[in-house]
Amino acid sequence: MSKSNIISSECKICGVPAIFSHYGVTACESCKIFFKRNAGNQKETLKCLFDGQCEVNINICHVCSACRLEKCFQVGMRVEMIQCFRPSLKKKKPASSKLVPVISQKNEQSLKLPTLNLLDQDRSLLTTDQWTLLSNLISSYDEYNALVVAKDFVQSINNLHPRPRFNVNATKVVEIVIILCQTTEPFIRSNHDFASLFHHDYSIVLRGAIENVSCLGVALIFRQSGLTE
């Protein structure tokens, strides 16, 4: 990641204003984090539900992780630039050959236990489409993460004197609700069954689903963060 050259430009992936070059391309902080998280090992697991035809911009860049990652590569982001800045692990020194073994070879063989392969039963029951949906959900959650904002808000309230706590501005609560609504839409859009609906049905279901899912999300976030206590 190079920040030596400041450029007055926009992110080559989603189009938002950006001034720094990340992994060889002018990109925003969000797209930089997304590429670092997904470029190394998820390019083959991510799958577009619309045959790679998704438009990637500031409004819908969180809908399809596969197309967003593909655009990162198309504009010139390079995986090797991520690896260059990872701290190298110190090599272990080989054991001295002059050490005398305490246990004889015969006794050592008798003490060896059979190896248990814990991965034998590790078989996923999810299909490729389900893995794609799960990956899109996780990516969308990581971009917004209203729980962190809610916990910070609770912490700021707890630091106040008991009397001023009743005069806390409700703007932060509204901000948390807005973040949840922004997170809900990409969740729903990434569902393959939802995307197959006709445009009229698509709009009706999207409107109702966002309201219902957002209400459930707000209740969960408030409970997990301690705002209801």
Q: Quick check: is 124 in a domain?
A: no
pTM of the model: 0.35
Predicted pLDDT of residue 88: 44
Do residues 67 and 48 lie in contact, with contact meaning Cβ atoms separated by under 8 Å?
Answer: yes
Predicted pLDDT of residue 7: 46
Q: Which among 58, 83, 108 is the end of a domain?
A: 83
User: Residue 78 belongs to what domain range?
Assistant: 9-83
Q: Which among 83, 103, 126 is the end of a domain?
A: 83
Where does residue 41 rank: exposed (0-12), middle (13-18), buried (19+ CB within 10 A)?
A: exposed
Q: Quick check: is 119 in a domain?
A: no
Predicted pLDDT of residue 40: 73
Predicted pLDDT of residue 2: 47
Q: Quick check: is 218 in a domain?
A: yes
Domain count, the chain: 2
Contacts 24+ apart (CB under 8 A), 170-175: 173/227, 175/149
Closest to 65 in 3D by CA, of 46, 79, 82, 41: 46
Q: Quick check: is 208 in a domain?
A: yes
Closest to 72 in 3D by CA, of 110, 39, 50: 39
Residue numbers in the chain where pLDDT is lower than 70: 1-8, 41-44, 59-63, 83-124, 137, 140-146, 157, 160-169, 183, 187, 190-192, 227-229
Q: Quick check: is 116 in a domain?
A: no
User: Which residues, in sequence order, are CB contacts of 65 under 8 Å at separation 6+?
Assistant: 34, 38, 42, 46, 135, 136, 139
Predicted pLDDT of residue 85: 45
Predicted pLDDT of residue 86: 47
Predicted pLDDT of residue 119: 47
* 3-class DSSP assignment, residue 9: strand
Q: Quick check: is 130 in a domain?
A: no
Residue type, position 83, single letter: Q
**Domain CATH for 52:** 3.30.50.10
Q: Quick check: is 53 in a domain?
A: yes
Do residues 64 and 48 lie in contact, with contact meaning Cβ atoms separated by under 8 Å?
Answer: yes
Q: Which among 83, 110, 131 is the end of a domain?
A: 83
Predicted pLDDT of residue 22: 84
Q: Quick check: is 128 in a domain?
A: no
